[in-house]
Amino acid sequence: MNTHYKNKEKIDKMQDAIIKAAIKVYAAKGMHGIRIADIAKEADVSYGLVYHYFKNKEDVLNAIFAKSINIFLRAIENAAVQEKSLEHKLNSITTFLFNACKEFPEFMYVIMFEVIWTPKFLETRNFMSFTRAFSTFEKILIEYREKGELKKSIDTTVSTYMFFGGLEMILTGIVIKAIPVEKTEMFQKLSNSFINQYINGIAASK
Amino acid sequence: MNTHYKNKEKIDKMQDAIIKAAIKVYAAKGMHGIRIADIAKEADVSYGLVYHYFKNKEDVLNAIFAKSINIFLRAIENAAVQEKSLEHKLNSITTFLFNACKEFPEFMYVIMFEVIWTPKFLETRNFMSFTRAFSTFEKILIEYREKGELKKSIDTTVSTYMFFGGLEMILTGIVIKAIPVEKTEMFQKLSNSFINQYINGIAASK
Amino acid sequence: MNTHYKNKEKIDKMQDAIIKAAIKVYAAKGMHGIRIADIAKEADVSYGLVYHYFKNKEDVLNAIFAKSINIFLRAIENAAVQEKSLEHKLNSITTFLFNACKEFPEFMYVIMFEVIWTPKFLETRNFMSFTRAFSTFEKILIEYREKGELKKSIDTTVSTYMFFGGLEMILTGIVIKAIPVEKTEMFQKLSNSFINQYINGIAASK
Amino acid sequence: MNTHYKNKEKIDKMQDAIIKAAIKVYAAKGMHGIRIADIAKEADVSYGLVYHYFKNKEDVLNAIFAKSINIFLRAIENAAVQEKSLEHKLNSITTFLFNACKEFPEFMYVIMFEVIWTPKFLETRNFMSFTRAFSTFEKILIEYREKGELKKSIDTTVSTYMFFGGLEMILTGIVIKAIPVEKTEMFQKLSNSFINQYINGIAASK
DNA sequence: AATGAATGAGTCTTCATTCAT
DNA sequence: TATGAATGAAGACTCATTCAT
């Protein structure tokens, strides 16, 4: 009865293993340097097998993107719905991403470097994911501006871009080790500095 | 008058034409999608000729980078030496880059998307260029913090990354037309919003 | 029975088939005229497949050499260890090579023309093979000179070079059909003439 | 009046300079490694100029051969017509070639390695030159055999091949420095050893 | 006569993808 | 399922040759 079900599980597990391997290779060789043969070797399967689980290379690439981008979106959307202060919401986003950097640096490397800025992804439906993330965030800002917690004068679009741009650059700095992070507490310090400065920049003056 | 001199000029002109074509192709196809044949076609020369002016593909890529990165560095270093207020300095950088977006969007596209974030460039001597830009900027912040114009508490590294990250993201938004800029004045408005929020975030409270 | 073993065999067989094809092409077009595409066509495989079995063109060329030179070395070293007269030893070498000419003329053509005299092979480790062959042969001469069977006055180095040079030239003559060999017996006659004259030239006078 | 004549001279001089350069390149890079650009650089002219003096690459190659082979032929044919003993004749040939090795090693390298054994040259009219050299030499042997100075039993074809083969191998040994020749007298010693052994091998027993 | 910029055919090599086992 | 042999399209690069100056 559930042979079928079991197979489905197996397929999912295999696909996941291949995507994980693909992300590693992606991190090491970049979007265009990535080769099916390398992915297969990293996943310790034959390259022929990759074609059982994915239609073609493009399909693997899309899977990498889909898996990666979700981490981002979920963090933001989770934050958006919380009944908390703006600072809490921002903190929830940054903490999540800083933790990801700490725990899956390779993964974040891929998000930071390859997935986000590859023109290919910006043009297609993938772009929508970012658009959604940005507009979800902007809505938070608008909400808090209307509550009077943020300056009336701020350009929420600019503020949104500054948030993601600034955060991304710091994460990148960490990932490429231009910003050294020896102790775990450092992550929290960086996160706090970032949020403080960011909120100071837009908060309504008391 | 001087044949030798003329030839040198011709060569420079040709190299420049090829780099320009290369940047266009780069903008359209990305770092790895770029093909010598396309560059040649774009420059309206045979692909064999590209090899008269450049040793190989790598050489062309490096030339693109060298040409691109300079725009960035010069803007920052020019700003650093001006005897003006912090706001003026930041404005000088942003204005320069916003103008570049307006006048050479393709060019900026390349800088934003390909050159800056390509792992290849982050590893080698090219990375130094960015390091230099970042540290030049950080020195400005430190200087003004010591003058008492900025909060003692700011982490200048975080602030530096936020500046470049935020600026880059906005420029990117413009370049990919996610941020629509119909009128030229818009550039100034965006620039002002950005600088205001940025300085508000770090300025010492009066 | 053992799949792994079978694969190894298959690989060896395929490599050998490609080398054989390569030798044919080599014989027809020479060291530099040889093209991977031609080898593939001769072996009746796609040129992509050549790269499954060999790293690159250089690798194929080296394989040709390795296969070719061995025929030579073995003949000489086998002869050296035989407990027989000098005449027998020389005969053993010449017979072996004459037979090779008869049975694998293309193969010998490659050895004679391309492998032996290609500067590329003279420079590297390949040269060592020849050095070894020559010095193995010279040791035989020295041994027989000390036994008193050869003139004390002979310069064994010159004699060694004369042996290989003379033999090579005759083999070449045969291979390019400048020396016509209609009947098999002719080989023995040529071989005898060569050895007689050679030994007469160096034998101690009775 | 003799402007025309002068031009002819100039042309000859230029052609010769280019061929000399070509031989150097030939010696360094071999038949197929040779490039017009290299020849031009070696001759210190533009590569375009090569096409003023030679129709194409093939033409240059042929010129190299023609110039090279003549050295060989003249030595042999001069020897043939001398009214001297066989030993004298052989000595005249070997001395000439050993001297060439001493004085123009690059030149001889080309003859030894590239020109002689390149299949291309063996097939066409160039082959005739060698055929002629060999048969001229064989006629000398036949003449002396009839005079009773050489064994009736020798196979003059084999003897001819042995002469050229042995001589070539020794010259090659010298050219590639496998046979070290520190002092000039060494050449004479090598030459003597060679001729002695050679003649011993074929001379009628007294 | 002389130069070297310009051309493009020819080759090597890589790698996604297919398919027999 | 799983393997890896086999295929061939695609692209970098070389170099003989032409031609405007």
Residues B4 and B98 in one domain: no
Overall domain count for chain B: 2
Domain boundary at A54, A80, A97, which? A54
The H or E element spanning position B66 is helix B57-81
Q: Choose among A144, A161, A164: nearest CA to A204.
A: A144
Q: Are D161 and C176 in contact (CB < 8 Å)?
A: no
First-last CA distance in chain A = 66
pLDDT over 70 percentage in chain A = 87
A53-62, B115-124, C52-61, D137-146: the lowest-pLDDT one: B115-124
* CATH code at position C6: 1.10.10.60
Q: Are C159 and D197 in contact (CB < 8 Å)?
A: yes
Question: Locate tokens 């993330």: which residue?
Answer: A133
Residues A29 and A72 in one domain: no
Kindly report, residue by residue over D80-137, the tens digit of the pLDDT: 888 789 999 999 999 888 888 888 777 776 766 555 555 555 555 566 777 888 899 9
First-last CA distance in chain D = 66
Number of H helices, E strands in chain B: 10, 0
| Chain C residues with at least one Cβ partner in D under 8 Å | 30-33, 112-113, 117-120, 122, 131, 134, 153-155, 157-159, 161-170, 172-173, 176, 178-179, 189-190, 193-194, 196-202
- Across the range B34-48, mean pLDDT stands at 94
pLDDT at residue D139 greater than cutoff 70? yes
pLDDT at residue A3 greater than cutoff 90? no
Distance, Å, B44 CA → E6 C1': 12
- Across the range A179-193, mean pLDDT stands at 91
Q: Are A161 and B170 in contact (CB < 8 Å)?
A: yes
Amino acid at A74: R
Cβ-Cβ contacts under 8 Å for A159 (sequence gap 6 or more):
A138, A141, A201, A202, B193, B197
Residues C96 and C182 in one domain: yes
Q: Which domain holds residue A135?
A: 58-202
Q: Are B118 and A30 in contact (CB < 8 Å)?
A: yes
Q: Tell me, what DSSP letter sits at residue A159?
A: H
Q: Choose among B36, B79, B31, B80: nearest CA to B56.
A: B36
Task: Number of C to D CB contacts under 8 A, please give it.
Answer: 125
Of B32, B154, B172, the CB nearest to A197: B154
Average pLDDT per consecutive 10 residues, chain C (206 residues; last block may be shorter):
57 92 85 88 94 93 82 81 89 88 76 56 61 89 94 95 91 84 90 95 77
Report the C-alpha gap between D5 and D2 in whole angstroms.
5
CB D159 within 8 A of CB C158: no
Q: Are D179 and C170 in contact (CB < 8 Å)?
A: no
- Across the range D67-90, mean pLDDT stands at 84
- Whether there are 3 or more C-beta pairs closer than 8 Å between C and B is no
D2: closest CA of chain C, how far (Å): 45
- Across the range B130-153, mean pLDDT stands at 91
Residues A98 and A176 in one domain: yes
CB C147 within 8 A of CB C156: no
Choose from A161, A175, A189 for mutation: most chain B CBs within 10 A: A161
Of C158, C163, C190, the CB nearest to D158: C190
- Across the range D7-24, mean pLDDT stands at 89
Show residues of chain D in contact with C61, CB under 8 Å: none
Residues B16 and B71 in one domain: no
Give pLDDT, residue A202. 84
Q: Could you tell me which residues are beta bridge partners of residue A203?
A: A150
Report the C-alpha gap between B137 and B89 in whole angstroms.
10
Choose from D127, D162, D174, D188 for mutation: most chain C CBs within 10 A: D162
Q: Which residues touch strand F (CB under 7 A)?
A: A 7, 10-11, 14, 45-49, 51-52; B 34-37, 47-48, 51, 56-58; C 7, 10-11, 14, 45-49, 51-53; D 34-37, 47-48, 51, 56-58
Choose from B101, B113, B117, B141 for mutation: most chain A CBs within 10 A: B117
Q: Which residue is nearest to nucleotide E3 (CA to C1')?
A: D46
Residues B41 and B84 in one domain: no
Query: Which nucleotide C1' is nearest D53 CA?
Result: E1
Of B129 and B142, which is predicted with more confidence?
B142
Distance, Å, D49 CA → E3 C1': 8
Query: Which nucleotide C1' is nearest A50 CA?
Result: F2
| Chain A residues with at least one Cβ partner in B under 8 Å | 30-33, 112-113, 117-120, 122, 131, 134, 153-155, 157-159, 161-170, 172-173, 176, 178-179, 189-190, 193-194, 196-202
Q: Are D169 and C165 in contact (CB < 8 Å)?
A: yes
The average confidence (pLDDT) of chain D is 84
Question: Locate tokens 């300085």: which residue?
Answer: B199
Cβ-Cβ contacts under 8 Å for A176 (sequence gap 6 or more):
B122
Q: Are C131 and D194 in contact (CB < 8 Å)?
A: no
Give pLDDT, residue B117. 52
A24-28, A97-101, A129-133, C202-206: the lowest-pLDDT one: C202-206
* CATH code at position C96: 1.10.357.10
Choose from C35, C116, C158, C163 for mutation: most chain D CBs within 10 A: C158
Of A172 and D145, which is predicted with more confidence?
D145
Give pLDDT, residue A196. 95
Give pLDDT, residue A178. 84
- Across the range B130-149, mean pLDDT stands at 91
Q: Are A198 and B162 in contact (CB < 8 Å)?
A: yes
Q: Chain F bases under 7 Å from protein CB? A: 1-9, 11-20
pTM score, whole prediction? 0.78
- Which residue on chain B is closest to A202 by alpha carbon? B197
Residues B44 and B63 in one domain: no
The average confidence (pLDDT) of chain B is 84
Chains touching D (at least 3 CB pairs under 8 A) are: C
Residues C1 and C98 in one domain: no
The token pair at C8 is: 């190894």
Q: What are the distances in angstroms from CA B176 to CA A73, A167, B27, B180, D202?
A: 20, 20, 11, 9, 90
Domain boundary at A39, A54, A69, which? A54
Residues B35 and B105 in one domain: no
pLDDT at residue A72 greater than cutoff 90? no
Grade residue B2 by pLDDT with cuts at 50, 70 and 90. very low
Of D161 and C64, which is predicted with more confidence?
D161
Show residues of chain B in contact with A190, CB under 8 Å: 155, 158
Give pLDDT, residue A31. 73
Residues C21 and C69 in one domain: no
**Residue count (chain A):** 206
First-last CA distance in chain C = 64
Residues A103 and A189 in one domain: yes
Residues C84 and C114 in one domain: yes
pLDDT at residue A141 greater than cutoff 60? yes
Domain boundary at C54, C83, C99, which? C54
Strand, helix or coil at A15? helix
Show residues of chain C in contact with D162, CB under 8 Å: 162, 165-166, 169-170, 194, 197-198
Show residues of chain D in contact with C174, CB under 8 Å: none
Report the C-alpha gap between C105 and C111 in whole angstroms.
10
Q: Could you tell me which residues are beta bridge partners of residue B10?
A: none
Grade residue D196 by pLDDT with cuts at 50, 70 and 90. very high
The average confidence (pLDDT) of chain A is 84
CB A137 within 8 A of CB A162: no
Give pLDDT, residue D56. 94
Q: Are B155 and A117 in contact (CB < 8 Å)?
A: no
